[in-house]
A and B are shown apart, each in its own frame.
Chain A
Amino acid sequence: MTASVVTATGLSRFYEVGGGLLSKPREIRALSEVSFAIPRGKTLAVVGESGCGKSTLARVVTMIEPPTAGHFAIEGTEITPDQWEAHRDAVQIVFQDPYGSLNPRQRISAILSEPLKINRPEMSRAEREAKVREVMGLVGLRPEFYDRYPHMFSGGQRQRIAVARALMLEPKVLVLDEPVSALDLSVQSQILNLLLDLQERLGLTYLFISHDLSVVRHVCDEIMVMYLGRAVETGTKEAVFGNPRHPYTRALLSATPVADPKSQKERIKLSGELPSPLNIPPGCPFAARCWKVQDRCRAERPALDGDGHKVACFFPEGE
């Protein structure tokens, strides 16, 4: 295996909420002991339902928030919060909502040159403009868009602008936080093609966060399924989709609608709700909704185990 661009070991992020004069603040474990490594030019997809810690993971990897525990390294160099400033250009993010993530009062030229102004103060104005125009060409934005405002664009074009902004500093890693879920189907495929094309041309590494399994299956190489802040199953796309071993992954796959009226499949019905992250049960986080739960699951937490295709379950499927 080639050297990994991003390596994370045991990343955790806890938040303290509430707490007043007499009550102790409570802890939300948004992300617990997540480990992964992404080789250069590959895509790791993180899937899970809302509240599973996907977006917290994105914020920790993009160095927006410090991890409570764990190590995070880019190209073998470990990065602690005091070195963030020097390494932030290596990781850039594209947000979900292209309507909310672009400043409506800035022209496209200003939006795209701002990262350069801040991080490359030595560049002259002409150099900046040249660079902006180059990246605009790269993501398929026409040169005449340079002086326009975001409201003049459709969702798909705005997402191109957001991708262009993320590429301005020539990052090694792009964190894509639900990049196509706000887009219509016909536009979604354009953006997915763009992302795949950029990855091939620039050798980018993607951390792709999504809840749409059909999109994930199309773009990713490796996949990590998260539940309540923990990774419950990781492996290559073929392994996880072909032979899902964690009951939650099974349920997730069976719940995803398939666009084929003829497909007959047995849908696994999950009962219950996601437990509150404020009081995570002591055993397996999925125990309350699992159909093959046993006493051991409620008492002990299963570790993420296995080589290559890892699963955190005492009684995995497909044995």
Chain B
Amino acid sequence: MTLLRIRNLSVDFATASGQFRAVDAMDVTVDPGEILAIVGESGSGKSVAMLALMGLLPWTATVTADEMSFDGQDLRAITPRTRRRIVGKDIAMIFQEPMSSLNPCFTVGFQIKEGLKKHLGLDRKARHARALELMEMVGIPDPARRLNAFPHQLSGGMSQRVMIAMAIACRPRLLIADEPTTALDVTIQAQILDLLTDLQAETGMALILITHDMGVVAETARRVSVQYAGQKVEDQPVGPLFETPHHPYTAALLAALPERATSRVLPTIPGVVPGQFDRPRGCLFAPRCAHADELCRTTPPPVQPPGMGLARCHYPLTEEGRG
């Protein structure tokens, strides 16, 4: 039974210079207890897609989808009131930049307890006990004292852990972590990732991890979806993806990792991600692709079968090279 199913999701923004498509025909399916990583460079639409799911985009955004359902409930048709009952309880999100996502005017204890009150209706005592338990779970030393701390009194790692405590407070069934460790040091990052995977294993929740760090993907995810310029270009389990990437973009991205370098000169991907005005007609990656030909430049590529990693490419790569 699929927990989250999104088909053909597109998000357009009305900008001063016309429509801009941030997410283009994206499909996401998540099963209960799964860890899915969404990787992509900045501007590839990975955060926007998740914000669209949470209903957190500003009015300038137009969200269209053929299907967007969570646990059998259609998220497109529900009223804002019903949505608020799901978001924050069954679907929770850890945002980027903990420093700016916490409200500086309230203590972290207040902010953690707010969700417990609204969604679970716990009384004051139970809320306090649960908040203490959560702070302990995420590894904050001296939790009773920290509950009364304001966000500015905490370090980046601490605030991020508070964010995680808030997100898991109501035992969500789907947790979306948007770059949960980008602002953190590596030793703290390791702690946070261990915490997330432990929680996932304990509670059986599904986890969507949005990141651009291939190392984090390799160590935590089970399935990976690669985004490029708003489109999903590949979707594979983590092992095969790192071994035999089928889309040239994934292959180029992996080759550009310094730790995979075989010589002093690193392989690069020429050019930049297309913007609002230079979107190619055919394959979006064609201008930067080493294998592109006339067909790629004129016709948008089909999505290959699952055996080819659902690669959005005319000529998916195989183990022997170009297929």
Contacts and interface: CB of A to CB of B under 8 A. Distances in A.
Interface stretch (B163-171, B256-264, B306-314): B256-264
A267 B190 contact: yes
Interface of B: 41-42, 141, 155-158, 185-191, 193-194, 212-219, 238-239, 242, 252-254, 256-261, 264-269, 272-273
A189 B258 contact: yes
A251 B242 CA distance: 25
A257 B185 CA distance: 12
A260 B212 contact: no
Contacts of B259: 214, 217-218, 258-259
A258 B260 CA distance: 10
With most chain A CB atoms within 10 A of its CB, the pick from B158, B185, B239 is B185
Interface in A206-227: 211, 213-215, 217-219
Interface string A66-87: 0000000000000000000000
Contacts of A236: none
Grouping DSSP codes into helix (H, G, I), strand (E, B) and loop, the B interface class, with mixed when no group exceeds half, is helix
B242 A252 contact: no
Contact of B215 (A190, A259, A274): A259
A185 interface: yes
A45 to B, nearest CB: 12
Instruction: Please name the 5 residue pairs, one residue from A and one from B, whose CB atoms are nearest each other, closest first.
Output: A257-B215, A49-B185, A255-B190, A218-B258, A189-B266
B194 A269 contact: yes
B212 A184 contact: yes
A256 interface: yes
B219 A257 contact: yes
Contact of B214 (A156, A213, A259): A259
The contact size tier of chain A is: 35 or more
B185 A50 contact: yes
Contact of B264 (A184, A196, A213, A260): A196
Given A49-B187, A251-B187, A260-B218, A218 B238 contact: no
B267 to A, nearest CB: 7
B42 A184 contact: yes
Contacts of A189: 256, 258, 266-269
A267 B257 CA distance: 21
A256 B253 CA distance: 19
A101 interface: no
A188 to B, nearest CB: 7
Contact of A185 (B187, B219, B256, B265): B256
Given A214-B259, A261-B238, A193 B265 contact: yes
Nearest to B44: A184
B215 A214 contact: yes
